[in-house]
Amino acid sequence: MEREEFERIVLKLIDELPEHFRKDMENVSIVLEERPSLDLLRKVGVRSGKLLGIYQGVPLTKRGLGYNGVLPDRIILFMREIEEEARMENVPLVEKIKNVLYHEIGHYFGLNEEELRKLGVF
């Protein structure tokens, strides 16, 4: 899929979030990359499997009163990894993008892996 189409889907999915989530998403950038770098894979300890997305920043639940004047947090989606995973799992690509995007947004809001699994965003 072309980057522009992938981006269009991501923007549509963000628009579909409930308003109270959208309005609380401040100072966070959604970035699309082809694949994760080897350096990033080493840093996060991914040895097997794929890294579909990553949240880089300070979750809302960890921010104190002095948290200001900082660079935006980042949610990075790895387009080719997501496409390959969707094909392997035989799920629609839009569904896979939504799952990964909402998973990383969950981390932005301070949810851990177990909490995300309970919500069905794994």
Can you give the pLDDT at residue 1? 87
Residue type, 108: Y
The model's pTM: 0.89
Measured between alpha carbons, how far is 93 from 22 in angstroms, rounded to an integer?
23
State whether CATH 3.30.2010.20 applies to domain 3-118: yes
pLDDT in tens, 3-16: 999 999 999 999 99
Higher per-residue pLDDT: 38 or 12: 12
Q: State the number of CA atoms in the 13 A half-sphere of 116 facing the CB.
A: 17
Q: Where are the domains of the chain?
A: 3-118
Nearest CA-CA partner of 53 in 118, 121, 4:
121
> What letter would DSSP give residue 109?
T
Q: Is the separation of the CB atoms in 98 and 13 below 8 Å?
A: yes
